[in-house]
Amino acid sequence: MSQKCLPTFSYLGTTALLTTVLAGTLTSSAMAEPAAPATQPPVQTATLLPEISVTASPLTDDATQLALPSQALDAEALAEAQPNTLGSALGNLPGVTQSGFAAGANRPIIRGLDNFRVLIQENGVPSNGASALSEDHAVPLIPGAADRIEIIKGPATLRYGSQALGGVVNVINTRIPSTPQTQTSGSLRATFGSVDSSNVEVLKLETGANIDGTGNNISLHLDASNHHASDYDAPNAEGVQSNTATKSKSVAGGAAFHFDTGYFGLSGSTLESQYGLPAPEDPAEPITIDMQQTRLNTKLVLDDLGNWGNSLTATLGYTDYTHDEIEGNAVGATFDIEEWDGRIEWLHPAIGSMEGAIGLHGFTKDLKAGGEAEELLAPTNTESLAVFLFETLPLSDSLDLQMGARAEHVEVEGTSFSTVSLTESERSRSFTPLNASLALVQSFGDGWVTSLNGQMVQRAPDALELFAKGPHHASETFELGDANLDVETAYSAEVSLRRYTSPFTFEVSAYASQFDGFIYKNLTGRTCDHTYASCVNNPSEELSEAVFVQRDAVFWGAEAQAKWSLLSTSEGVFGIDGQADFVKARFTDGGNVPRIPPLRYGLGIFWEAEKVNARINVLRASKQNSVADQEDATKGYTLLNATINSQVEIAGHQLDIGLVGQNLLDDDIRLHTSMRKDEVLQPGRDVRLVLTAHF
């Protein structure tokens, strides 16, 4: 069976999900694997689901062995939706929503946690850019060019740092080929959308050769993408949502040298993106962001170290990121980030029956803001060095204990602002976040697994939370940091039950987190002009005052998703699936945490066959009445999506043809998680044609 396909439960409810397939149907390689014979008994058709493979653990890629269920989207699901942003790619997964600020700027939100608590990576190396600094900043990644996108939770997140407190989103591609390539293969994908007159093209090429007749091999990768979209149509013939046009292009290449005991590889990529910010403060001077990023990554893997352990993996990444915020025809603000990130992870020899990994992780990040952005944040430098471990101890044939720990030292330098003296001064802060996690994973047979997980996670404040000091025009806020903020601590517990075998796959989880010193951006109700002295207690000025403060808070919620194959024949499988999620968040001294997503629930029906797959699903978001101070309630919406996907063979090559419908009811969708929900409607009815040629 192909290891590249994922079962439907991994992405129930997303707009991408419609390429759920049986084993041996679609793959992202040059040709599909052979299908099962038509004479195969129907009962086997229902049970031949692809295995679940994730990179969350350094010890196993089998999600059934992890403390918490992991979610993933594979290449086929991403190909159908061709999402503009990472947020739109993941935003309908159970437990995941999106910031929804702009068509080109949309970060994922996990269980109500966003920005500095959700770490975004590409192949395990951070790729946040400036997106965590503000909701109008895009994540510098092309989701449609990815092979997989995974959401990681549980003990394994401690490997990645305190910014993974809410979870890790890992975008996976083969820019550094991890397996030797001996043939040339690739794909060319084109997508055409109606709601924004969009066109997307993605090209991928893989090749390689054995260079000396032994195990030594050179493997090469190339991918390129182009995306162009106009202002999208608003629902119910409201016209277009102005200043939502986007365009981007990227080129990336990589190579790896494979030898008997591992491989060494490197990759480089460039990304350019321009997108508008809707509902500008001055309609006569709309704001457009022009972003560029260059990334260089290297990776060394040594396998089979004998008495020294199972493997050693080392990565080093460099990122040069900049974006200009253009108001009218002039550059109003600039953000420049230069970042190095390095990691060494060693799978040590087994200690009795205990297996695990020990690692070192460090990064340095220089941020410089220019123009109007320098009023918001003076140059900052952040450095971090950490040691971490992840261990698994079998307690019986069916019960495992998983443990994670991380000790980190963080130095943040910047310029603080005194609201008393109205003066600035250089400031340096040091933090030592400590993290620990324990989990029990119990298997009951017949695919049933349950787990109980407990964590203590600490997060050091970000430079923006410490040193913000002025206007941010894109979000229409006047932001003030607090250089005296302490570490943020979360004590969390989660219990889950899941079953991964057909004809019925199911998972449900419930969680709760107690935050000591939860850091958030508090809207005070005051408004400001361009200086702190101008802030007043009435809405007479253009900017809303937002102050970073700490308060204790409690988050709790639950997620569920299921898939049931009702009818299995030699022709295919017909079934139903569903999902639900909710999160509640309140401060312990009273009041709701701002921008928390509402209750959502959905149902779908599907048909899965060798050559044709179809799905229709509806997702209902309830009205959000649990609002914070300075917030209004947000009405609910109903999202109806449908997809049909077929395969044909032309001249010995596979062609995938997909027709995707999104928001088919043309409902007015406003996201409570968006800072611009009152001014910005999400896109209306959209029909997309997706063509993918494999060669």
The per-residue pLDDT for 54 is 52
Please report the pLDDT score of residue 17 as a whole number.
Answer: 30
Instruction: Tell me if 19 sits within 8 A of 641, measured CB to CB.
Output: no
243 with 229: CB under 8 angstroms? no
Distance of CA 24 to the CA centre of its chain: 27
Grouping H, G, I as helix, E, B as strand and the rest as coil, residue 156 is: helix
Number of Cβ within a 10 Å radius of residue 9: 24
| First-last CA distance in the chain | 20
Query: Distances from the Cα of 292 to the Cαs of 82, 119, 173, 274, 321, in angstroms?
Result: 21, 20, 20, 9, 6
Q: Which residues are bridge partners to 569 per DSSP?
A: none
Residues whose CB is less than 8 angstroms from the CB of residue 307 and which lie 6 or more positions away in sequence, other chains included:
349
Bridge partners, residue 489, by sequence: 458, 516
Helices (H) then strands (E): counts for the chain = 5, 32
Q: Which residues of the chain have pLDDT under 70?
A: 1-70, 80, 82, 154-156, 281
**Domains delineated in the chain:** 8-694 (2.40.170.20)
- The CA angle 421-427-433, to the nearest 5 degrees, is 125
pLDDT digits (tens, 9 = 90+) for 262-294: 999 999 999 999 999 887 767 777 889 999 999
The pLDDT score that the predictor gives to residue 44 is 31
Instruction: Give the tens place of pLDDT for each residue, 507-560.
Output: 999 999 999 999 999 988 899 988 898 898 877 778 889 999 999 999 999 999
* pLDDT for residue 55: 61
Read off φ and ψ for residue 680, nearest 5 degrees.
-125, 120
Q: Are 537 and 516 in contact (CB under 8 A)?
A: no
Nearest CA to 272 out of 401, 161, 138 is that of 138
Residue 59 is predicted with a pLDDT of: 63
CA distance 125 to 55: 13
- pTM of model > 0.85: yes
Mean pLDDT of the chain: 86
257 - beta bridge partners?
A: 218, 264
- Strand ranges for 500-636 from DSSP E: 504-528, 543-568, 572-587, 600-609, 612-621
> How many CB atoms sit inside 10 A of residue 200's CB?
24
User: Residue 304: what pLDDT?
Assistant: 83
The residue ranges of DSSP E strands in 7-147, in sequence order, are 71-74, 96-98, 108-110, 118-122, 125-126
Is residue 247 within 8 A of residue 262, CB to CB? The reply is no
Residue 109 is predicted with a pLDDT of 93
pLDDT at 211 (0 to 100):
84
Task: Give the three-class secondary structure for 207.
Answer: strand
Alpha-carbon span 512 to 590, nearest angstrom = 17
DSSP class of 138 = P
DSSP 304-371: --GGG-SEEEEEEEEEEEEEEEEETTEEEEEEEEEEEEEEEEEEPPPBTTBEEEEEEEEEEEEEEEEE
Placement of tokens 């799905």 in the chain: 615
9 three-state secondary structure:
helix
Q: 445 — alpha (psi -120 to 50), left (phi > 0) or beta?
A: left
CA distances to 78, 199, 223, 224, 331 from 252, in Å: 18, 20, 5, 6, 28
Please write down the long-range contacts of 47-50, taking CB distance under 8 Å and 24 or more positions apart.
47/501, 47/502, 47/503, 48/1, 48/22, 48/23, 48/24, 48/502, 49/7, 49/22, 49/23, 49/500, 49/501, 49/502, 49/505, 50/1, 50/2, 50/3, 50/4, 50/5, 50/6, 50/7, 50/23
